[in-house]
Copies of this chain bind each other. A is one copy, B any other.
Amino acid sequence: MPWDFLFYFIYFLTIHIAMIILFGVFVRYNEESDTRWIEHRRRKNISTNLENDFYYRYPSFQDVHVMIFVGFGFLMTFLKRYSFGGVGFNFLIAAFGIQWALLMQGWFHYLDDDGKIKIGVENLINADFCVAGCLIAYGACLGKVSPVQLMVLTLFGVTLFAVEEYIILELLHAKDPGGSMVIHTFGAYYGLTISWVLYRPMLSQSKHLQGSVYHSDVFAMIGTLFLWMYWPSFNSAIADHGDGQHRAVINTYLALAASVLTTFAISSISQKHGKLDMVHIQNATLAGGVAMGTASEFMITPYGSLIVGFCSSIISTFGYIFLTPFMEKTLKIQDTCGIHNLHAMPGVIGGIVGAITAGGYQAAGLFVAIAFGLVGGALVGGILKLPIWGDPADANCFDDEVYWEVPEDEDENMLSSHPNMNHARGMPDA
Contact = CB atoms under 8 A, between A and B. Distances in A.
A54 interface: yes
Nearest to A3: B274
A407 B421 contact: no
A21 B1 CA distance: 61
Interface string A9-31: 10011011001110110011100
Given A242-B38, A250-B119, A269-B9, A417 B410 contact: no
Contact of A261 (B12, B211, B278): B12
Interface stretch (A43-51, A157-165, A334-342, A349-357): A43-51
Contacts of A425: 407-409, 413
Specify the main secondary structure of chain A where it touches its partner.
helix
How many protomers of this protein does the assembly include? 3
A233 interface: yes
Contacts of A415: 410
Contacts of A243: 29, 32-38, 52
A256 B404 CA distance: 22
A222 to B, nearest CB: 7
Given A16-B262, A230-B62, A24 B274 contact: no
Contact of A407 (B63, B70, B119, B214): B214
A58 B4 CA distance: 47
A261 to B, nearest CB: 5
Nearest to A40: B243
Interface stretch (A85-93, A172-180, A323-331, A381-389): A85-93
A33 B264 contact: no
Contact of A218 (B83, B258, B264): B83
Interface in A62-113: 62-63, 65-66, 69-70, 73-74, 77, 80-81, 83-84, 87-88, 91-92, 95-96, 98-99
B8 A268 contact: yes
A281 B225 contact: no
Interface of A: 1-2, 4-6, 8-9, 12-13, 15-16, 19-21, 23-24, 27-29, 32-38, 41, 47-56, 58-60, 62-63, 65-66, 69-70, 73-74, 77, 80-81, 83-84, 87-88, 91-92, 95-96, 98-99, 119-121, 124, 147, 211-215, 217-219, 221-222, 225-226, 228-230, 232-233, 241-243, 245-247, 249-250, 253-254, 256-262, 264-266, 268-269, 271, 273-278, 281, 285, 299, 301-303, 306-307, 310, 403-415, 417-418, 421-422, 425-426, 428
Given A24-B303, A91-B228, A405-B428, 13 more contacts: A1-B273, A9-B268, A13-B265, A20-B303, A23-B254, A34-B243, A70-B226, A84-B278, A88-B281, A121-B250, A212-B409, A214-B407, A413-B425
